[in-house]
Structure 1
Amino acid sequence: MLIETLQQLFDRDLNKLKSEIESYQNEKSLWVIDKNIANSAGNLCLHLIGNLNWFIGATFGKTGYVRNRELEFSQKDVPQSELIQRIEETILVVRQGLDALTEEDLKTDYPIVVFEYKTTTTFFLVHLTAHLSYHLGQINYHRRLLD
């Protein structure tokens, strides 16, 4: 049951991410930073894609994805259409990764120690939904302020 809930939340928020990226009227605005805004919407989008492809896709879906976190924040001017395509691919990767889990798997330790302590798989997947939602809100504000 929790896996279905997580799938619904990731699906909802990744589709909202796609909608936000599509809503930029000026493609160059995706990469604008201003004053105290340290990360562009484009870089936050790349970060979310990398994060989920690594922590769900590679870990549970065995996709072989190799993450380059630094590039998520340094790469610029990826076309809007490519960001949208990557989001669509990430939606599928997340679905497949979560489909590989059982309710029993959720009770085990997440296979990677991400924080300074071990967490259960449930805890870490809930954390990932909150992380996605947090950056999705930042992207929404970025678009409304700078586009």
Structure 2
Amino acid sequence: MMIKELEKLFVRDLEKLRGELDQYPNEETLWKVVDGISNSGGNLVMHLCGNLQHFIGAVLHDTGYVRQRDFEFNGRMDLNQLNEEIGKTIEVIRSYFKDADSETFDGDYPLEVFGYPMSIGYFLIHLQGHLNYHLGQINYHRRILS
């Protein structure tokens, strides 16, 4: 597996996430939910950071992060806190990949998140796709409300 390339993709897309936040017309818009859209942009940002800090940070890198998934979808943070969470998430990604090697990615992911065993590499690729899926949703959410 291309370790450095995967790390660069995570960091690139988390920086894009920060860029999306910066383009919202105001903080209030970030939290709006409109017909046909289940989550606000702010809650999706919280979800992405919580997801990566949990599945990569806590599970793979023993950071001690404790996920509050319900808060990700129902809570609220101010814009500075959201940017701090993105920064923390980038730090977790960089720290994890600094210590990883290709043999690590061939190992089993410690949790059966989908109800079946998978390799760490497989799940990391899934997490990168998940990040992009929600990044696209945030982009559309922002453009609909701008």
| Band the TM-score falls in, shorter-chain normalisation | over 0.9
SS at match of 1:10: helix
Runs of 5+ consecutive residues of structure 2 not aligned to the other structure: none
Deviations 1:70-123 (A, max 9, x none): 1100103x1111101110111011111122222101111111110011111110
Runs of 5+ consecutive residues of structure 1 not aligned to the other structure: none
Residue 92 (structure 1) aligns with: 91
Distance between the aligned counterparts of 1:134 and 1:92, measured in 2? Answer: 21
Identity of aligned residues (%): 48
Which one-letter code corresponds to 2:67 in the other structure?
R
Distance between the aligned counterparts of 1:113 and 1:99, measured in 2? Answer: 25
Distance between the aligned counterparts of 1:22 and 1:81, measured in 2? Answer: 11
Distance between the aligned counterparts of 1:137 and 1:106, measured in 2? Answer: 27
For 1:28-107, list aligned pairs within 5 A. Answer: 28-76=28-76, 78-107=77-106
SS at match of 1:18: helix
Residue 23 (structure 1) aligns with: 23
Residue 135 (structure 2) aligns with: 136
Q: Deviating runs (4+, > 3 A) in structure 1? A: none
Alpha-carbon shift at residue 60 of structure 1 (Å): 2.3
Distance between the aligned counterparts of 1:98 and 1:113, measured in 2? Answer: 21
Alpha-carbon shift at residue 61 of structure 1 (Å): 2.2
- After superposition, the CA RMSD in angstroms is 1.0
Is the contact made by 1:60 and 1:100 (CA closer than 8 Å) also made in structure 2? no
Alpha-carbon shift at residue 59 of structure 1 (Å): 1.9
Is the contact made by 1:3 and 1:98 (CA closer than 8 Å) also made in structure 2? yes
Which one-letter code corresponds to 1:105 in the other structure?
T
